[in-house]
Amino acid sequence: MTQQGVRWTADQVLALAPDAASRKAGSKLGAAGPWSEAGSSDEGTVWGLCKGSGSKPYQTVVDIADTAGPAYKCSCPSRKFPCKHALGLLLLWAGEDGAVPSGQAPGWAEEWLAGRRKRTEEKRAAGASASPAAADPEAARRRAERRAERITAGAGELEQRLTDLLRAGLASAEQAGYGLWEETAARMVDAQAPGLAARARELGAIPSSGPGWPVRLLEESALLHLLDQAWLRREHLPDDLAATVRSRIGLPSSPDGPPLRDHWLVLAQYDTTDPKLTTRRIWLHGTDSGRTSLLLSYGAAGRAPELALPMGLALDAEVSAFPGAGQLRAALGEQFAAPSPTTARPQGVPTAQAAVHYGEALRHDPWLDSVPVTLDRVVPTPDGDSWQLADADTDLALPLTPTARSRPGLWRLVALSGGAPVKVFGELGHRGFTPLTAWPEGAGEPVSLC
Amino acid sequence: MNSTPAPAPPAGDWEELVTAALLGTDRRTPPGCAPGQDAPVALLDAAAVETVRRRAGLTPTRAAERPEPAAPDARPALPAAAARRLAMLLTDRPGTGGGGRRGTSPDLMELLPQWLTAANARGFAAPVQALPALLDAARGRTDLRPAALEFAGPRALWLARLNPDWRFALRATPGGGTALPDLDAPDQVQLLWQEGLFAERVALLAAIRAHRPPAARELLVTTWATERAEDRLMFLDSLRMRLSAEDEPFLEQALADRSRNVRATAAELLSALPDSALAARMAVRASACVAVDRTREEPGLVVEAPHECDSGMERDGVVAKAPAGRGERSWWLGQLVEATPLGTWERRLGGRTPAEIVALPVADDWRSELHAAWCRAAVRQRNAEWARVLLGTPSAPEAGGPGAVSLAERAKLLSTLGGGERADWVAGFIAAQGLSEAFQLLGVCAVPWAAPLGRAVVDALNIARDAGSYPWSFSGVMGLAERCLDPGEAGRLDGLLAVPDETEDAAPGAGGYWAEAFQRLVTTLRLRAAMTEELGAP
């Protein structure tokens, strides 16, 4: 496959930016002005010299064909990644005809590329030959056992906290405040059970989350209790459910499913951030298999996660599922070509079927907050202070989640619809539907709502 | 889950579970708790089963009333490259990061108005997903609204009805975006005129005036007597468009209106009709005040300002009460001369040409008063010949010769001239006077600037650089140049991009800043050229 004619949109390029300031700075560099000797190769490389404030222009090169998403190199001192020059160069490549002509990479770019490709080859060769088993299986087993013991102690302690809460009554939780659960969460971190820690922390936030909080607190306490109990009796669970419990507890696992090669349409990509970590979620849809898979990628505080797959492109690649019943999480394996534009769309369902889909998924994983679904022919409809997605052909509707209602993506969705039915991909759960991507009726590019 | 044995609790149990949980199991025994069982654990067990059951049993809700579909937009879609450019221009909104010194990169937000004008000229429809960002941009900048709303089209108004943040779009669009009736259907027109909201009626009147000026006036006459004073004023103002002698009888009648503002507007409109009776009456009054002094060797003008403002003058729109600090008599004189057809003076003052009249000395310090009134008359009557004379030659405007008028008045006079002549005059002014006072005058010149004007601006910037000042002293003109200079001129600027050697008298570091400023200018021009190309031929 060649790169000529395979252009990304500006939105797809801007989605790579680590923050709003980079997006803005990159946009300004997306014009011919400061660039010289820009070019691109059929192998999927873009390079150029960007005039900065100094006398020597910055050397920028991007490898868009890299199997792990675009790779960047720039001689500027910026610690942002990708830097504004890499974004500007990609915008220039995406935008103006002829601004980035096809050609032979100059020496400085070729050197970096050759180095990268060599390292990738070496890694692949090493991965193929070395056995994945740890050097000392006995030591690993003892480490795992020690960790399981600590988690068991943590789960017991958490059960004690929950029964104390129910004995005194939820009404007391409002006075108890956030600190108690924060402290409990810290103890779960010590017990090496990050999944329990996160749920414990969320419990602390519920009493201040508005009307109906006692019901939510009871639900989440009960599900946390269910997780504790499932962990304590994991020996008796079916393998798949036990694997789900381990991943909910926060134990690391690695993808063990057979690699599935498909043309994966990137349905959506969005980040959630907390002070310590940026989590990037990328939803993929196999256009041949019909499978939906979730890729997760993490970035340390303030840094964008490394994996970036712009929405609307498709990639010819293998993915492998993580263990667990109904588990959608997968890992990206070998990529056979760079992401390229596609007109494929996922098949959608009406709202009633989407709700059934969530109900069935809960059978495999009762802690599941939401499932990915594509809704066909729905109309964004105002409903008092909130919004819903109403079937065009029945009188049924799914409410939007409170967070979805306050995001700018809602208005892009409403604008795209204009009162007419649209196809919408998003996450549906007990809180409602969160739209992530929408397609207009008839032809047209998908619109990101993240 | 399917391996967990759980008896199905009866319906209504969930409420009881919640009540027990709220009060605490010390006070309330949860339902289904067997004797000897730990009550909190039993409650949590039951609640877990119920929670999953409730979630798994969720069904869609009943649909609310769906919104009326938006009106279709028949305009063609943007070319792909232009749509990408729009996305980038809208990314650069204030508050989206950055800030600080501008550096060498263009200010994309400043290019948005130009982009919108070009897209509107070509009749493209806005990409629907860009509408929210477009409306947000227009919300923050009122100057952007007319072009943004035109480009945004009917779907933006549809959106504005759903989002209070965008209500301005409904106010800014006459009639709130409701479609005007077929102007050839008298019944529909009458219905809207009789029962429409004020904004709808103004829009209707303007639409009819644009096509058939007399019909608009006739419609207005049917209800004139019953309209409120402030509505009469707005309706009257809509006659400004395509004003003609046919409107005179109606305007004459409006001179007797109860409202002073309506009277003043009617008088102003009549005075813009050189053949109107009002203009003739004003000419008689003004002529009595200005005469050629034949007692001296050198001919000159003598001025005898009116001694009173009689009821006839007031009826013709002369405001009797002078503003604080102005003499009454000069105040009245100014209004008379302003409303007098300029052609009057050639006959009255001995067959002299406008140039000769303006060149005449004026006795007793009346000169500035008289010239200022002529300037206002030239603007009101769109008289290019008088405007030209009053502007004088651009090379010597401050020498005390004709045209010693303020920059604001000059800008207005310039607007009566054709585009080419305007640009030449401003170019001459800049060549003689430099840039420090040119900003206001440049603002009335057509975009892109004509070649001689562009060159004059670049030369003047170059001179300012050589003089050693800082570029931000000229940031206003520099910003205008980025938006208005012909992109074809970018090549000419190449010589200015280098950092010059620092001379003794130059401000420290100025050379570097100038190189940066010129670099930004060139980058912006290239970007504008690309923008235009992406949109295709108009």
Q: How confident is the model at residue A233 (pLDDT cuts 50, 70, 90)?
A: very high
Q: For B154-173, how does the pLDDT look when each residue is reduced to its tens digit (9 = 90+)? A: 999 999 999 999 988 887 66
Of B25, B70, B522, the CB nearest to A419: B70
The confidence band for A4, taking pLDDT boundaries of 50, 70 and 90, is very low
Q: Is A296 on the interface with B (CB under 8 A)?
A: no
Show which of residues 229-288 on chain A sit within 8 Å of chain B, judged by CB atoms.
237-238, 241
Nearest CA in chain B to A95: B81
For residue B95, the model assigns a pLDDT of: 44
pLDDT at A210: 86
Separation CA B2–CA A366 (nearest Å): 11
B60 touches A at CB < 8 Å: yes
Please report residues of B whose CB lies closer than 8 A to that of A55: none
What percent of chain B clears pLDDT 90, i.e. is strictly above it? 35
- Nearest by CB: A166 against B44, B70, B516: B44
Do A295 and A345 contact (CB within 8 A), yes or no? no
8 Å CB contact between B458 and B435 = no
Side-chain-side CA neighbours of residue B286 (13 Å): 30
Q: What is the pLDDT of residue A243?
A: 93
Q: How far apart are CA A358 and CA A283, in angstroms?
A: 17
A413: left (phi over 0), alpha (psi -120 to 50) or beta: alpha
Kindly state whether B226 is in contact with chain A, defined as any CB-CB distance less than 8 angstroms: no
Of A25, A238, A416, the CB nearest to B98: A25
Angstrom distances, CA of residue B228 to CA of B200, B217, B231, B352: 16, 17, 5, 47
| Ordered alpha helix ranges (H), A102-136 | 107-129
A330, amino acid identity: A
In percent, the amount of chain A with pLDDT more than 70 equals 93
Residue A91 contacts B where some CB pair is shorter than 8 Å: yes
Spatial separation of the C-alpha atoms in residues B389 and B387, rounded to whole Å: 5
B52–A218 C-beta distance less than 8 A:
no
- Written as one letter, the residue type at A192 is Q
All residues at 6 or more sequence positions from B12 whose CB lies less than 8 Å from its CB, including other chains: none
Cβ contact, residue pair A163, B40, below 8 Å: yes
**B451: buried, middle or exposed (CB in 10 Å: 19+, 13-18, 0-12)?**
middle
In Å, the largest CA–CA distance within chain B is 129
Angstrom CA distances, B31 to B12, B16, B48, stand at 10, 7, 14
Tell me if A124 sits within 8 A of A39, measured CB to CB: no
C-beta neighbour count of B9 within 10 angstroms: 16
CB contact under 8 A, A24 and B158: no
CB-CB under 8 Å, A219 with B51: yes
Residues 6+ apart with CB under 8 A from B308: none
Q: Which of residues 139-158 of B touch A (CB under 8 A)?
A: 155, 158
Phi, psi of B173, deg, nearest 5: -100, 120
Give the pair of three-digit tokens for residue A251.
């134990």
What pLDDT sits at residue B11?
54
pLDDT of res. B187: 83
What is the number of CB-based contacts under 8 A between chain A and chain B? 242
DSSP characters over B378-394: HHHTT-HHHHHHHH--T
Neighbours of A196 (CB within 10 A): 27
Return d(Cα A435, Cα A104) in angstroms, integer.
43
* pLDDT of the residue at B89: 87
Give residue A192's pLDDT band: very low, low, confident or very high (50, 70, 90).
very high
Token pair belonging to A115: 């180095």
pLDDT for residue B5: 42
From chain B, the residues in CB contact with A20 under 8 A are 96-97
Provide Rg for chain A, Cα atoms.
24
* DSSP letter string, B245-294: GGGHHHHHHHTT-SSHHHHHHHHHHHHTSTTSHHHHHHHHHHHTTEEEE-
Contact list in A for residue B526 (CB cut-off 8 A) is: 31-33
Q: Which B positions 83-102 lie with beta carbon below 8 A of chain A?
A: 84-85, 87-88, 91-92, 96-98
A388 contacts B26? CB cut-off 8 A: no
> Taking 80 as the threshold, does the pLDDT of residue A391 lie above it?
yes
Q: Å from A312 to nearest chain B CA?
A: 15
The helix (H) or strand (E) run that includes residue A71 is strand A71-74
**Residue of chain A with shortest Cα separation from B59:** A355
Asked if residues B510 and B471 have their Cβ atoms less than 8 Å apart, the reply is yes
| Interatomic CA distance for residues A388 and A414, integer angstroms | 11
Closest residue, chain B, to A359 (C-alpha): B56
Q: Are A444 and A417 in contact (CB under 8 A)?
A: no
pLDDT at residue A436, as a whole number: 97
What is the per-residue pLDDT across A268-297, written as a single tens digit (0 to 9) for each?
A: 999 888 878 889 999 999 999 999 999 999
Contact A87, A14 (CB under 8 A): yes
Rounded CA Rg of chain B = 35
Q: Does A92 touch chain B (CB under 8 A)?
A: no
d(CA B411, CA B438): 10
Nearest CA in chain B to A172: B22
Per-residue pLDDT band for A5 (boundaries 50, 70, 90) equals very low
The one-digit pLDDT tens for each residue of chain B (538 residues) are 333 344 555 556 899 999 999 999 988 888 877 777 889 999 999 999 999 999 999 999 999 999 999 988 889 999 988 998 898 888 765 544 444 445 666 777 788 888 999 999 999 999 999 999 999 999 988 888 889 999 999 999 999 999 999 988 887 665 444 556 677 778 888 888 888 888 778 888 888 888 888 989 999 999 998 998 888 998 998 898 888 899 999 999 999 899 888 998 999 999 888 889 999 999 999 999 998 888 878 888 989 889 989 888 988 889 888 899 889 999 999 999 999 999 999 988 988 999 999 888 888 888 888 998 999 999 988 899 999 999 888 876 554 444 457 788 888 899 889 888 999 999 999 988 888 888 888 988 888 888 889 999 988 988 888 887 888 888 888 888 988 998 888 888 877 777 766 666 666 677 788 888 888 888 889 889 988 999 988 7
Provide the shortest C-alpha distance from residue A303 to chain B (in Å).
16
Chain A residues touching residue B69 (CB < 8 angstroms): 418-420
- Which pLDDT band holds residue A338 (cuts at 50, 70, 90)? confident
Interface of A with B in 303-322 (CB under 8 A): none
* Helices A351-364/A239-249 angle, 10° precision: 90
The sign of the CA dihedral B433, B437, B441, B443 is positive
Rounded (10°) angle between helices B367-380 and B384-391: 140
Does B1 touch chain A if contact means CB atoms closer than 8 Å?
Answer: yes
Kindly state the DSSP code that residue B490 receives in the 8-state scheme: G
- Residue A359 and residue B58 in contact, taking contact as beta carbons nearer than 8 Å: yes
Q: Nearest to residue A447, comparing CAs of A419, A421, A422?
A: A422
Q: How far is B84 from chain A (nearest CA, A)?
A: 6
Q: Which of B474, B466, B463, B472 is nearest to B513 (CA)?
A: B472
What is the arithmetic mean of pLDDT over A290-317? 87
Instruction: Tell me which chain A residues have a C-beta less than 8 angstroms from the C-beta of B128.
Output: 415-416, 418, 440
Does pLDDT of A88 surpass 50?
yes
Give B226's contacts (C-beta < 8 A, 6+ positions apart).
none
Q: Which residues of B touch A443 (CB under 8 A)?
A: none
For A102, residues 6+ apart whose C-beta sits below 8 A from its C-beta are A4, A39, A40, A41, A42
Which of A36, A220, A414, A441 is the best residue to mutate to test the B interface, defined by the most B CB atoms within 10 Å of its own CB?
A414
Distance in angstroms (rounded) separating the CA atoms of residues B529 and A197? 57
- Residues of A whose CB is below 8 A from B25: 166-167
> Using 50, 70 and 90 to split pLDDT, how confident is the model at A69?
low
> For chain B, how many residues are written?
538
Question: DSSP characters for B188-241?
Answer: HHHHHHHHS-HHHHHHHHHHHHHH-HHHHHHHHHHHGGGS-HHHHHHHHHGGGT
